[in-house]
């Protein structure tokens, strides 16, 4: 490989939010013509450092260098001016316009009176030829697939002489074939000397693409690996660090095999195939795997919120209904992944949010009993320690943790037989997390079936009695509480078999 210059370098970048330091002296170095991967668990600081480089956040201290010249980046415009481009997950193209129009949107080359279309088209064609993309400059973006649209985004970045292109989870919206297309595009760019900073949590992608890899943990750069050093074991060890199991469970619950939710040969579109599992009363069953691996769809199929394409789901031997309202009456509940869009009702107050799924209990005569309703809400506010304690405050005004307590409390007050949880503690602070875990464990003690989907490895390992890992639309591994570790789960999520755990 030819001699490589340093394109981007950061030195001692620090950043804190509300007094919590999220980046500590981060040094990062990207060479010309390399694909540099950035990995780390959720909250490790990957996106914060990216946002500082691209001018979304302002750093507190440290220095950014472009080609060894110190630069000041205060805004997105500054970042662009310094040759830093980002390909966003939600693409920023105008679907109704052509490739050429999109690339020159807002920076049209003017003729005497009107934009000089011929000139712009010529330049786009030259760019396409240079990077050997298979794109027609006149094609309308709306007619293209996601991978091709990403190529247009990349062209747009190249048209303003980007020195470094940042891609944040670029494959999350792509099919397998499209992913391969993106990879070959990246290969071409690398060959032409363009640097790429590639963020992903998929090990196989990193291994396929990266020349070097920087791993972050808790706001620190914990290590840089060369391509040959990238092995799943090394990466996960760096990401997780020395593993300490917190609050070790003192006693393990015995699952009640008579109360069982059984899933057989479940299929959902092309996302899930041949899913088989039994979840027992009195246990918290954790479901791990990468985001987008079909975990959310699995529990939504069980709940009746999505129509499965095949297979059967039974509760204590009886088929589970396909209608949510009937499942709720039958003792089911779901805490969805995104509480703001699917969980709570922002303009409705705490009492209304808590009672919304329980009118079958509160209005036995068809008329809601004000007394029972008040009692129901007051009990929930007390039992789940919801703040503020005034039941008439709109839930939109509560903190994230209290909103989640309301969404969870809505089900707990019904004493559910089956509780499905999707990322139950996302965006919740540590104190509230512990409270939520206690509520879940209490419910398990009472004999309910609890299924918890989570991307938080620590939570998965410490809270679940048993863990199933989804990989490529199927269950890949099963771990019991005793033999689960964050390392193991991270590896299994990427399809690496270490020999531990039970292969499914």
Partner 1 sequence: MNAEKGKFLKAAGSIWGQRVTILVAVIVVMAIVQPRFFSSGNMLSILLAIAFYGVIASGMLFVVLIGGIDLAVGSEAALGGTIFTMYVLAHDMSAGTFFTAFLLAILVAILVGLLHGFFDAYLGMPSFVVTLATQYALYGLTQYITKMNYLPVLNASGLFYQLGNGKLFGIPSPVIWFVILAVIAAFVLKKTPYGRRIYAVGGNPHAAELVGVSSKFHKMTAYIICAVTASIAGMLLVSMNMVSSYKMAAGYEGPVLMALVIGAVNLMGGEGSMGGVFFGALLVGIINNMLILIGIDTDYKEFVQGCIIILAVAINVYTSRKSQGLVDQKRRRMPWLNRPKRGAPDG
Binding residues for partner 1 (CB under 8 A)? 55-63, 72, 74-75, 303, 305, 323-328, 334, 336, 341-348, 352, 355-357, 359, 363, 366-368, 370, 378, 389-392, 394, 396-397, 410
At 117, phi and psi to the nearest 5? -60, -40
In the complex, the smallest distance separating the C-beta of residue 61 from partner 1, rounded to whole angstroms, is: 5
Angle between helices 430-445 and 400-412 (to 10 degrees): 10
Q: Cα(414)–Cα(382) distance, rounded to whole angstroms?
A: 15
| C-beta closer to partner 1: residue 276 or 321 | 321
| C-beta closer to partner 1: residue 198 or 344 | 344
In the complex, the smallest distance separating the C-beta of residue 298 from partner 1, rounded to whole angstroms, is: 15
Q: Cα(418)–Cα(435) distance, rounded to whole angstroms?
A: 20
Q: Cα(142)–Cα(131) distance, rounded to whole angstroms?
A: 22
In the complex, the smallest distance separating the C-beta of residue 497 from partner 1, rounded to whole angstroms, is: 36
| C-beta closer to partner 1: residue 452 or 457 | 452
In the complex, the smallest distance separating the C-beta of residue 55 from partner 1, rounded to whole angstroms, is: 7
Query: Could you tell me which residues come within 8 angstroms of residue 215 by beta carbon, excluding any fewer than 6 positions away?
Result: 39, 40, 221, 222, 223, 224, 225, 235, 238, 239
> Among 467, 448, 447, which residue's Cα sits nearest to residue 456?
467
In the complex, the smallest distance separating the C-beta of residue 351 from partner 1, rounded to whole angstroms, is: 11
| C-beta closer to partner 1: residue 280 or 344 | 344
| Token pair listed for 40 | 């780390």
| C-beta closer to partner 1: residue 280 or 384 | 384
| C-beta closer to partner 1: residue 311 or 394 | 394
| C-beta closer to partner 1: residue 325 or 480 | 325
By DSSP bridging, strand 256-268 and strand 84-87 are unpaired
DSSP output for 240-295: H-S----S--SSPPPPEEEEEEEEEEEEETTTEEEEEEEEEET-EEEEEE-TTSSH
In the complex, the smallest distance separating the C-beta of residue 52 from partner 1, rounded to whole angstroms, is: 9
| C-beta closer to partner 1: residue 52 or 239 | 52
Query: Could you tell me which residues come within 8 angstroms of residue 265 by beta carbon, excluding any fewer than 6 positions away?
Result: 274, 275, 276, 310, 311, 312
Q: Cα(116)–Cα(104) distance, rounded to whole angstroms?
A: 11
| C-beta closer to partner 1: residue 104 or 344 | 344
In the complex, the smallest distance separating the C-beta of residue 17 from partner 1, rounded to whole angstroms, is: 13
In the complex, the smallest distance separating the C-beta of residue 367 from partner 1, rounded to whole angstroms, is: 5
Q: Cα(424)–Cα(433) distance, rounded to whole angstroms?
A: 9
In the complex, the smallest distance separating the C-beta of residue 363 from partner 1, rounded to whole angstroms, is: 5
| Cα radius of gyration rounded to whole Å, the chain | 26
Q: Tell me which DSSP letter residue 109 carries.
A: P
């Amino acid at each position: 490989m030819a001699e490589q210059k340093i394109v981007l370098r950061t030195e001692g970048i620090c950043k804190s939010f509300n007094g919590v330091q999220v980046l500590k002296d981060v040094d990062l170095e990207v060479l010309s013509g390399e694909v540099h991967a950035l990995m780390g668990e959720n909250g490790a600081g990957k996106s914060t450092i990216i946002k500082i480089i691209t001018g979304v956040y302002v750093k507190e201290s440290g220095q950014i260098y472009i080609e060894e010249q110190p630069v000041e980046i205060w805004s997105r415009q500054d970042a662009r001016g310094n040759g830093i481009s980002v390909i966003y997950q939600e693409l920023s193209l105008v679907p109704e316009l052509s490739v050429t129009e999109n690339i020159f949107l807002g920076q049209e080359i003017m003729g005497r009176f009107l934009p000089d279309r011929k000139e712009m088209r010529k330049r786009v064609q030259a760019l396409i030829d240079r990077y050997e993309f298979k794109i027609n400059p006149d094609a309308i973006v709306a007619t293209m697939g996601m991978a091709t649209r990403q190529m247009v985004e990349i062209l747009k970045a190249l048209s303003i002489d980007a020195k470094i292109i940042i891609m944040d989870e670029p494959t999350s919206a792509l099919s397998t074939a499209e992913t391969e297309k993106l990879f070959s595009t990246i290969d071409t760019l690398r060959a032409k000397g363009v640097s790429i900073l590639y963020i992903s949590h998929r090990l196989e992608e990193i291994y396929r693409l990266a020349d070097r890899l920087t791993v972050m943990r808790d706001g620190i750069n914990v290590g840089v690996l060369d391509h040959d050093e990238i092995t799943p074991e090394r990466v996960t060890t760096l990401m997780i660090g020395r593993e300490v199991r917190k609050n070790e469970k003192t006693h393990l619950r015995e699952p009640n095999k008579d109360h069982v939710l059984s899933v057989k040969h479940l299929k959902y579109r092309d996302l899930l195939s041949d899913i088989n599992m039994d979840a027992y009363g009195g246990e918290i069953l954790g479901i791990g795997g990468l985001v987008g691996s079909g975990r959310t769809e699995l529990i939504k199929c069980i709940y009746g919120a999505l129509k499965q394409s095949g297979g059967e789901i039974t509760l204590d031997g009886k088929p589970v209904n396909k209608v949510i309202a009937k499942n709720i009456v039958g003792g089911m509940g779901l805490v969805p992944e995104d509480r703001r869009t699917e969980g709570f009702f922002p303009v409705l107050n705490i009492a209304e949010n808590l009672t919304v799924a329980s009118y079958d209990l509160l209005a036995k005569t068809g008329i809601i009993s004000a007394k029972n309703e008040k009692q129901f809400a007051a009990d929930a506010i007390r039992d789940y320690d919801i703040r503020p304690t005034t039941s008439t405050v709109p839930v939109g005004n509560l903190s994230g943790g209290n909103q989640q307590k309301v969404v969870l409390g809505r089900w707990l007050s019904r004493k559910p037989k089956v509780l499905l949880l999707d990322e139950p503690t996302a965006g919740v602070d540590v104190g509230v997390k512990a409270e939520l875990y206690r509520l879940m464990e209490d419910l398990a003690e009472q004999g309910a079936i609890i299924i918890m989907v989570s991307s938080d490895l620590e939570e998965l390992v410490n809270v679940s009695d048993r863990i199933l890992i989804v990989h490529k639309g199927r269950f890949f591994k099963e771990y019991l509480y005793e033999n689960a570790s964050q390392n193991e789960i991270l590896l299994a999520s990427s399809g690496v078999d270490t020999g531990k755990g039970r292969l499914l």
